[in-house]
Chain A
Amino acid sequence: MKPLHILTCKALLVLVVVLICNSTALAERCDTLALIVAQDNPITNISEEQLQRIYLGKVITFSGNLRIQLVEHDCCLDFFYNRILHKTKGQVRKHWLKNIFSGRDCIPPTLIRDSKELLEHVAKTKGAIGFLPLHEINDSVKLLSVDGAQPSDSGYVLITCDNDQSKP
């Protein structure tokens, strides 16, 4: 029979490992993300709060009653969800299922795997909003600042996430 304190230590060690694994599973490496909209979309800046509500389907229009169309690219989904929505991918997916089956007027994000295709889609769709690594952006779309900060600014919320420790 092992002493009780050894068993307790082992149990605590297992618990710590589980919690660390759960935390590290949520972090990932990716580039600086740029938020993009069509050039003819009047919006130029967005707040983090607003972005969160848009990507959870709580707000469905830009100003001027312009219907929002969410577009996603799978390269940095986890990072975006963690940093902006403070949720895991599973939580976000479940949130959208709740929206859909509640009968709410909502259109879930469209996943576009090809970044060029995503750029083209955003460029020609006035209400579309999406995100891509900054180096993949061209002039066909407009970059959004977040809470007044541009992607090149140090205070930009989606700045490069190497060694990122953000967790939901």
Chain B
Amino acid sequence: MKRYTKALPIILMLIMFVAGHTNGQERDFRLYGFFDMEAKISNKDAAGKNWTFDQHHFNLLFDFRIDDRIRVCSEMEWEHGAVLGGGDDVGEIYLAKAYLEYRFSERFQLRVGKFLTPFGIYNERHDATPTFTSTTLPASVYSKRVLSPYCHQARLFAKEGAGIQLIGTFQPNDWLLRYQTYLTNGRGDAPFEKDNNANKAVGGRVTIAPPSTHGHIGFSFFRERSTINHNAVNTLLGLEAEYDIATFHLEAEAIISSIEAIDSLYQPIGGHYQSEGAYALVSYTLFDRLTPFVRYDYYKPGWSDSYTQETKQTIGMNFSVTDRVFLKSEIIFNQTNMITQDHNYRSFIMSIAAAL
């Protein structure tokens, strides 16, 4: 794996060479990317009291347009200053997405390959921090959780999947309706290569924008039976809304996750564990550059061996240095109602994010 990091400069030079020769002529290849770096501190524990630098993401996104209707899109990620191989592995290098898309019409596009699951406002741009007001994703919807006593810690829904997806946009009576629906292997040992059970993960997202408005509401659905949760059926429903009034922005999401209860032998015992999460973010942009924001996160687990609910209040500022470079700082007040004691702590994060 180490050869990947060594080869990075050469790959980049080749890409820039190809991009320079194709982008200006036929515009059939486009290269995008992003970079971010964080500095954070928290008073959670002794280790957390050190300032920590995190070179979090360096991603390259390739958009190959084979013709007017067919394109191939892929994204490579180097996370946490990845070094792999040699026994001292740190960070991650991985293919976030690689898919081919065919556009039959505006109403019907077919996507095949590996893609980020279309769920909620953020998941399809899961790591693209230059597009976030905050540095971090809302924990209530996008963090990893232990959904039931015998399950592993994992995201509420699969971050990505390999399979097929249908996408389309309709405009009935000036309303704008966009749908995405998909079928993937679901999570497991080698989820982008094989499915280790007979059940496919299915899901979809629908967003609706009424005429003459600057916002939308949306619904997401996800259902899988994966080995990561010992084949317990996991069903999620998500609700989202975004609205802009001038430079005032509001976004909110709510999610309900229901997972089949299993025993220590991983057999269904009847009943479900239902967890709930929600957040709301409000921001206002001044001078087209300075965006103060607040966000409130709430998560209630479906079972509780350690805590009964979690809330986070985030107050921060996003400064747009240019159209593509953003400086952010935020303080997060974490409150967790532990069964044995209250456990509250604060985190402070500063970051710089650039879109390439």
Contact = CB atoms under 8 A, between A and B. Distances in A.
Contacts of B131: 94, 97-98, 101
A60 B128 CA distance: 23
Residue among A25, A98, A167 with the highest chain B CB neighbour number at 10 A: A98
Interface string A76-93: 000000000011111101
A90 B214 contact: no
Interface string A98-122: 1011110101000000000000000
A161 interface: no
Interface in A45-93: 47, 49, 53, 58-61, 65, 67, 86-91, 93
B283 to A, nearest CB: 11
Interface residues of B, number: 46
Contacts of A86: 214, 244, 246
Contacts of A59: 106, 169, 171, 176
Nearest to A48: B212
Contacts of A61: 105-106
B287 A22 contact: yes
B97 interface: yes
Most buried by A among B101, B103, B288: B288
A21 B100 CA distance: 47
A9 interface: no
B285 A91 contact: yes
B92 interface: no
A93 B167 CA distance: 24
B90 interface: no
Interface string A140-168: 00000000000000000000000000011
Closest 5 CB pairs of A and B: A101-B128, A93-B323, A102-B124, A101-B125, A90-B288
Interface of B: 27, 30, 32, 34, 61, 63, 68, 71, 73, 75, 97, 99, 101, 103, 105-106, 109, 115-116, 124-125, 128, 130-131, 167, 169, 171, 174, 176, 178, 209, 211-212, 214, 244, 246-247, 285-289, 320, 323-324, 355
22 contacts: A18-B286, A53-B176, A59-B106, A65-B106, A87-B244, A89-B288, A90-B288, A90-B320, A91-B244, A91-B247, A91-B285, A98-B131, A100-B32, A101-B61, A103-B61, A103-B73, A103-B97, A103-B99, A103-B124, A105-B71, A107-B27, A107-B30
